[in-house]
Amino acid sequence: MTETLGFIGLGKLGLPIAEKLMEGGFSLRVFNRTAEKATGLVAKGAVAVASPVETAMAGGVVVSIVSDDRALLEVAGDDFCEALGTGIHISMSTVSPVTSRTLAERHARVGGRFVAAPVFGRPEAAAAKKLWICTSGAAASKAAVRPVFDAIGQGVFDFGEDAGAANVVKLAGNFMLTAAIEAMAEASAMAEKNGVARADLLNMLSSTIFNCPIYVNYGKGIVNSQFEPAGFAIPLILKDMHLVQKTASDARAPMPMVNLLVDRYLSMMANGLERYDAVALALGAAEDAGLKWG
């Protein structure tokens, strides 16, 4: 595959992913709405361009990681697809499976290819080349871009040829992640009401029967009130939970807990807590129990 990639989106995950690609030997043509975010990459040899279309080279590869479905559909418009031609668009954004299927069809109309490749991992995991990558799309396309995945992640999981399948997995994972935080938040409130410190509870459980990254890392966040800076900010989580609701509803798969999570996040947004991290769910559970956080 080509050693020059297009890259769109230099947010909290996009920037360290782009840096890892450059460290892996790829040259980048980068676009970000806030152009200043590309300064560090340009200093290392990347080329900053003025539009998403300019990242695309006919027959080449473009990686995108943007905030939501609307942004992705705008980035990958007809002009972008035509510029990329028979090339491959790798979408690492957390979006609806419907959006990925729409883009796969849009690219196919001009002979192009689309691979969904959402990732699991916070920005620090991206910087350490520790992302877990889910993929879906045509087998030949996934094989062609495997060097990209190998440059940024510690493992790749293939979910078949349906372009939207990897996004279903990503939404399911994000739901399970936030449900785990809610469970820890509620358990901590119950423990504190019964005289057991949340630190004692979560330190014990996360080092024994719940000894896995989500409980360990987010448990520490709850114990230490690590609400800022946000690795996974409330507006993005709320967006993801709305996508889970829609995907579940379309499939007629009831998910009662996601409705609770949406209400939690809406409450946080209404109270001006958009800047907080996901672990701030603990604040809502504590308030419900009549506890003062501290």
Of the options 3.10.180.10, 3.40.980.10, 3.40.50.720, 3.40.190.10, the CATH number for the domain spanning 4-161: 3.40.50.720
**Residue 163 to residue 67: CA distance in whole angstroms:** 19
Annotation marks residue 193 as catalytic: no
Q: What is the pTM of this model?
A: 0.95
- 11-21 tens-digit pLDDT: 999 999 999 99
What local confidence, expressed as pLDDT, does residue 231 receive?
85
Please report, for the chain, the start and end positions of each structural domain, with discontinuous segments joined by +: 4-161, 168-288
- 153-195 tens-digit pLDDT: 999 999 999 999 999 999 999 999 999 999 999 999 999 999 9
Q: 20, 170, 239, 292: which one is catalytic?
A: 170
Cβ atoms of 24 and 152 closer than 8 Å: yes
Would you say residue 98 has pLDDT above 80? Answer: yes
- 51-60 tens-digit pLDDT: 999 999 999 9
Second-level CATH architecture of 168-288 = Orthogonal Bundle (1.10)
